[in-house]
């Protein structure tokens, strides 16, 4: 295998991991509240700036930064749900759609006001920049750390949803919220779990995004968030393994588009991703692993 191909594979794996981390949250949140949360990607930005802040303070050992960032993401996800979405329960889907877009714009503009529009350099520990010789290529440590952490976290979420009492309750709410309440399940708790877990994963994706690409700004979460939503659609909304696989499919497809098409096309990478979305919606609207579902007004 040529070095170039292998390097592209590594790039696809890294990008796909980032999409997968964000896509899991889309999927969990849609599962319990039937809401496509367009503000979800902005939690990446919150995660990235939290990392920057923690590092700037300098008191926190690097090993604890990811944990704190995830805890912050959990809290931010829960707070956003409480402030913006809780009063929407039972509202028509289109209302939820508009409110999540508004929440996204509000978060981005709050970010611009507080943090400024200037992109910032993201200082990551130099150990992640080191390159390991792997056969014909050198691979940066971060390109190994991101997929490893992603698979670990995705596995933990799958176990949580499949095995734990709250995870089973979340699946029950996702299938039939009224019957779930008759079991004594608190909707608010299941919804908080979905927004919190989704927020934690998006925040850690923000940390990784900054580490991988080196620069962050208050608008950084929106387009990756939309792409992670495309990944969720590819995998089939409501399935955590589907969201992870969708993330990797999209990551590889995007990197292949940039890496193997003539370089003058690489500026169209976003257009390519959304064209892929349209294609999937036309050919297999329930995604690769989703089940068909009647739309609820």
Partner 1 sequence: MLRLEELQVVRGRTRVLHGLTLELGAGEIAALVGANGAGKTTTLMALSGLLPIACGRATLELESGTLDVARSTPAALVAGGLIHCPEGRQVFARLTIEENLRLGAYLNRDEAEVRRLLGEAYALFPVLGERRGLNAGGLSGGEQMMLAVARALMAQPKVLLLDEPSLGLAPQITERIFDTLVELNRERGVAMLIVEQNAMLALEIAHKGFVMEEGRIVMSGTGRALLEDAGVVQAYLGASA
Q: Does residue 181 interact with partner 1 by CB under 8 A?
A: yes
- Residue 185 binding partner 1, by CB under 8 A: yes
What b/e sequence results for 125-158 when a residue is b if at least 16 CB atoms lie within 10 Å of its CB, and e otherwise?
Answer: eeebeeeeeeeebebbbbbbbbbebbeebbeebb
From CA 252, how far away is CA 111, in angstroms rounded? Answer: 31
Nearer residue to partner 1 within complex by CB, 2 or 163: 163
Rounded Cα distance, 163 and 155, in Å: 12
Kindly identify the residues of this chain, within the stretch 82-141, that bind partner 1 according to CB under 8 A. none
184 contacts partner 1 (rule: CB under 8 A): yes
Query: Does residue 171 touch partner 1 according to CB under 8 A?
Result: yes
In whole angstroms, the minimum distance from the beta carbon of 184 to partner 1 comes to: 4
Residue with tokens 């350099």: 121
- With CB under 8 A as the rule, give the number of residues binding partner 1: 16
Q: Of residues 182, 282, 283, 297, which one binds partner 1 by CB under 8 A?
A: 182
Q: Assess 169 for contact with partner 1 (CB under 8 A).
A: yes
When binding is defined by CB under 8 A, the residue of 60, 113, 183, 279 that contacts partner 1 is 183
Cβ contact 256:269 at 8 Å:
no
| Nearest approach, Cβ of residue 151 and partner 1 (Å) | 25
What whole-number distance in Å separates Cα of residue 154 and Cα of residue 240?
8
Residues that bind partner 1 (CB under 8 A): 165, 168-169, 171-172, 175-176, 178-186
């Amino acid at each position: 295998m040529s070095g170039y191909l292998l390097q592209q594979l590594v790039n696809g794996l890294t990008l796909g991991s980032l999409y997968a981390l964000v896509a899991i949250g889309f999927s969990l949140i849609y599962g319990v509240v039937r809401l496509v949360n367009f503000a979800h990607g902005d939690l990446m930005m919150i995660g990235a700036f939290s990392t920057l802040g923690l590092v700037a303070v300098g008191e926190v050992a690097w090993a604890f930064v990811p944990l704190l960032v995830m805890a912050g993401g959990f809290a931010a996800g829960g707070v956003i749900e409480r402030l913006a979405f809780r009063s929407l329960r039972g509202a028509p889907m289109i209302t939820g759609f508009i409110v999540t877009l508004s929440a996204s714009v509000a978060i981005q503009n709050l970010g611009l006001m507080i943090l400024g529009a200037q992109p910032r350099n993201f200082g990551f520990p130099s150990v992640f920049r080191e390159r390991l010789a792997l056969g014909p290529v050198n691979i940066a440590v971060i390109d190994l750390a991101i997929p490893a952490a992603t698979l670990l976290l995705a596995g933990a979420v799958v176990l949580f949803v499949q095995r734990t009492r709250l995870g089973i309750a979340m699946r029950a709410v996702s299938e039939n919220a009224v019957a779930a309440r008759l079991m004594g399940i608190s909707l608010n708790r299941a919804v908080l779990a979905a927004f919190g877990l989704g927020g934690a994963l998006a925040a850690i994706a923000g940390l990784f995004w900054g580490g991988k690409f080196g620069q962050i700004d208050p608008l950084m979460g929106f387009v990756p968030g939309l792409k992670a939503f495309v990944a969720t659609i590819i995998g089939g909304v409501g399935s955590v393994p589907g969201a992870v696989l969708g993330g990797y499919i999209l990551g590889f497809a995007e990197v292949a588009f940039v890496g193997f098409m003539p370089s003058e096309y690489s500026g169209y990478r976003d257009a390519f991703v959304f064209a892929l979305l349209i294609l999937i919606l036309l050919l297999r609207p329930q995604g690769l692993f989703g089940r068909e579902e009647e739309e609820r007004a």
